[in-house]
A and B are shown apart, each in its own frame.
Chain A
Amino acid sequence: MEASRADVANAAATIEFQAVVKHFGGESRAGVDGVSFTVDPGSLVVLLGPSGSGKTTLLKLVNRLYEPTSGVILINGEPSTAQPAPELRRRMGYVIQQAGLFPHYRVAENVAVVPKLLHWDKRRIRRRVDDLLDLVGLPPETYRDRYPAQLSGGEQQRVGLARALAAAPATLLMDEPFGALDAITRSRLQDELLRIHARFGQTILFVTHDIEEAVRLADQIVVMCEGKVVQYDSPLKIVMTPANEFVADLVGADDVLRRLSLVSVAAAMQPLAGEVVLAEAPTVPHSARMRTALGTLLESGAPRLLVVDDDAAPVGTLDLRAIQDASVPHVAGRSEQVAASLAESAR
């Protein structure tokens, strides 16, 4: 039942934005205002920003649901306009917030849309649909013949994901796909997405306004504001060194507990340097968030924690000092005094 890897992952695409501008008629400000950056093949890049920041517009420029006013988007070095838009789109998965399933198609027919457009033969489509439903955690025998209206929101979104993956696209575009789901379902689907990404390594552009979601999923985060890219960095850098007050606000840098819930233990610990490990110290997994570590530290009253990896092998230590460091942002342009007072309040 496993989809063969060759069938699923075409070589992941590189996406390069070059001075991309999108101006909507009748609006004074450009929706996307001179955006340039490069998405490495196989990385999961989150476009993060408040509503109206241009992140969805930027996404739709990639599959040409919008055409740029000026500038170029290169996909594997080739301008996106080099081929007709429908053909470009068939090679990019597209997932949107309300799932956008076709209500008159059964689940299997929904998933089969792109393979049919590509004229796959019936048997191949059928096999592929079953593989994909398995992949997104919907048993094909149960779900194949249902209609979208008979599914929960989370199930619909799983079908939406399966449909986007159907023709093994090298690129996946996701526009707030989990935005309308409850917290538990959302977190489950985030895990599924990470698993699928780890397995097939597509290039993924993911739009969200939720910083927690961004930090959880992203290899890199693009922070957008008023059509411009404000910062393009790893999640850790975005949280630890926001480029300006806007990013600091967005990540809630001044809220100590919030910051601690965004930074992982692995990023803030002091790695073990061959020294002898204190047997007594309480442990914390390296994938946990700093907020959890702080809780463990306070609860136990121990001077420091032992950080362990997935196999419970010790990899580092964490004391109050390190947690304090992780709780103080280094906002560019903010005075030392403010940082100091923040550190004070953190204590």
Chain B
Amino acid sequence: MWYCLPTHRVLGGRVERRARCVELLAESWQYILDNQDRFGEAVVVHLRLSIIALLAAIAIFFPIGVLASRSGRAGAALIGVVSAARVVPSLAVLFLLLPFFGLGERPALIALTLLAGPALVINTDAGLRNVDPVALESARGLGMNAFQVFTRVQLPLAVPVVIAGIRTASVEVIGSATLAAFIGAGGLGTFITSGLTLLDERLLLVGAIPVTLLTLGAESALGGLERRLTPPDAA
């Protein structure tokens, strides 16, 4: 990959390096064409890991975020703990779980679900807390009960921030799913691990580029959703 970096170009041999870079990409592409089954399966596994982990995380951590936003001090304390937990690196989470859950897809899913947690809890809590209290008071004043105030006013107004949390979490999950290969869960990370072992740059790119594209795709899709669900500002 480093052959593509522009700084290397000024060192001379510009033409060869650029040629090598193109060659490498072509070789990676050829590898994909030659191993369509393996590649296809890796993409499917990668997406399956990411999507299941993300959905599980939303199911678990969105409610926790809601509870945090509704319970003054305890909520604030919880958010502190969750923020602190965020600094634990993905790889560490993966290996910490190893003694308990062994190798394979299950521990990978658990780890990825946990990794998505902080972004979801923090954003859900912040989104709900920061809804304009005037809107909430007028909702109550007009005769909405507590459930209606939450579902019709507070949650819809917090949704953009919640989606931003899902976006952050999805980037984290799709990226970290690469590491799942280290504990034998498969996915696009397998190409990277074999590339590293075999010192085969071609394989590294077969893993890395699709992961990057998936991440960017998820990011922009959720970004679009976020914009669509944000109430319009002054036109």
A100 touches B135 (CB 8 A): yes
- A86-B144, A147-B232, A149-B234 known; A100+B156 contact, CB < 8 A: no
- Residues in A neighbouring B156, C-beta threshold 8 A: 104
B140 touches A96 (CB 8 A): no
- Residues in B neighbouring A10, C-beta threshold 8 A: none
- Residues in B neighbouring A330, C-beta threshold 8 A: none
Q: Can you list 20 A-B pairs with a CB-CB distance of less than 8 A?
A: A63-B141, A65-B140, A65-B141, A86-B145, A89-B140, A94-B138, A96-B134, A96-B138, A98-B134, A100-B138, A101-B138, A102-B157, A103-B132, A104-B231, A113-B142, A149-B234, A150-B235, A163-B142, A164-B142, A173-B141
A277 CB within 8 Å of chain B: no
B143 CB within 8 Å of chain A: yes
**Shortest distance from the beta carbon of B135 to any chain A beta carbon, whole Å:** 6
A149 touches B233 (CB 8 A): yes
A114 touches B138 (CB 8 A): no
Q: Using a CB-CB cutoff of 8 Å, which residues 84-127 of chain A contact chain B? A: 84, 86-91, 94, 96, 98, 100-104, 113-114, 117
- Residues in B neighbouring A101, C-beta threshold 8 A: 135, 138
B143 touches A100 (CB 8 A): no
Q: Which of B138, B139, B144 has the most CB of A within 10 A?
A: B138
CA distance A191 to B195 in the complex (A): 78
- Residues in B neighbouring A96, C-beta threshold 8 A: 134, 137-138, 141
Q: Using a CB-CB cutoff of 8 Å, which residues 111-144 of chain B contact chain A? A: 132, 134-135, 137-144
- Residues in A neighbouring B135, C-beta threshold 8 A: 100-103
CA distance A65 to B143 in the complex (A): 10
A89 touches B231 (CB 8 A): no
For A151, give the chain B residue with the smallest CB separation.
B234
CA distance A86 to B144 in the complex (A): 6
**Shortest distance from the beta carbon of B136 to any chain A beta carbon, whole Å:** 9
CA distance A100 to B132 in the complex (A): 9
**Shortest distance from the beta carbon of A66 to any chain B beta carbon, whole Å:** 11
B144 touches A117 (CB 8 A): yes
CA distance A117 to B157 in the complex (A): 19
B83 CB within 8 Å of chain A: no
- Residues in B neighbouring A163, C-beta threshold 8 A: 142
CA distance A101 to B153 in the complex (A): 10
**Shortest distance from the beta carbon of A168 to any chain B beta carbon, whole Å:** 14
- A89-B143, A117-B144 known; A149+B138 contact, CB < 8 A: no
For B139, give the chain A residue with the smallest CB separation.
A102
Q: Size class of A's contact patch?
A: 20 to 34
**Contact among B140, B145, B231, B235 with A103 in the assembled complex (CB-CB below 8 Å):** B231
A150 touches B141 (CB 8 A): no
Known: A89-B142, A98-B134, A103-B135. 17 other contacts (CB 8 A): A65-B140, A86-B143, A89-B143, A90-B142, A91-B143, A94-B141, A96-B138, A96-B141, A100-B134, A100-B135, A100-B137, A100-B138, A101-B138, A102-B153, A117-B144, A150-B234, A150-B235
CA distance A90 to B139 in the complex (A): 11
B30 CB within 8 Å of chain A: no
**Shortest distance from the beta carbon of A254 to any chain B beta carbon, whole Å:** 37
B148 CB within 8 Å of chain A: yes
- A96-B134, A103-B157 known; A147+B231 contact, CB < 8 A: yes
Top 10 A-B residue pairs of the complex, sorted by shortest distance between their CB atoms:
A100-B138, A90-B143, A89-B143, A94-B141, A103-B231, A104-B231, A86-B145, A86-B143, A147-B232, A100-B134
**Contact among B137, B145, B235 with A65 in the assembled complex (CB-CB below 8 Å):** B137
CA distance A2 to B146 in the complex (A): 35
CA distance A173 to B143 in the complex (A): 13
For A175, give the chain B residue with the smallest CB separation.
B141
CA distance A88 to B231 in the complex (A): 30
* Contact string against A for B residues 221-235, beta-carbon threshold 8 Å, 1 for contact and 0 otherwise: 000000000011111
**Shortest distance from the beta carbon of A240 to any chain B beta carbon, whole Å:** 36
CA distance A86 to B147 in the complex (A): 11
Q: Using a CB-CB cutoff of 8 Å, which residues 148-202 of chain B contact chain A? A: 148, 153, 156-157
CA distance A62 to B106 in the complex (A): 57
For B146, give the chain A residue with the smallest CB separation.
A86
- Residues in A neighbouring B231, C-beta threshold 8 A: 103-104, 147, 149
CA distance A244 to B143 in the complex (A): 39
Q: Which of A96, A100, A101 has the most CB of B within 10 A?
A: A100
Q: Using a CB-CB cutoff of 8 Å, which residues 152-180 of chain A contact chain B? A: 163-164, 173
B148 touches A89 (CB 8 A): no
CA distance A86 to B235 in the complex (A): 34
CA distance A101 to B157 in the complex (A): 12
A149 touches B232 (CB 8 A): yes
**Shortest distance from the beta carbon of B228 to any chain A beta carbon, whole Å:** 12
- A65-B137, A100-B134 known; A114+B142 contact, CB < 8 A: yes
- Residues in A neighbouring B134, C-beta threshold 8 A: 96, 98, 100
- Residues in A neighbouring B234, C-beta threshold 8 A: 149-150
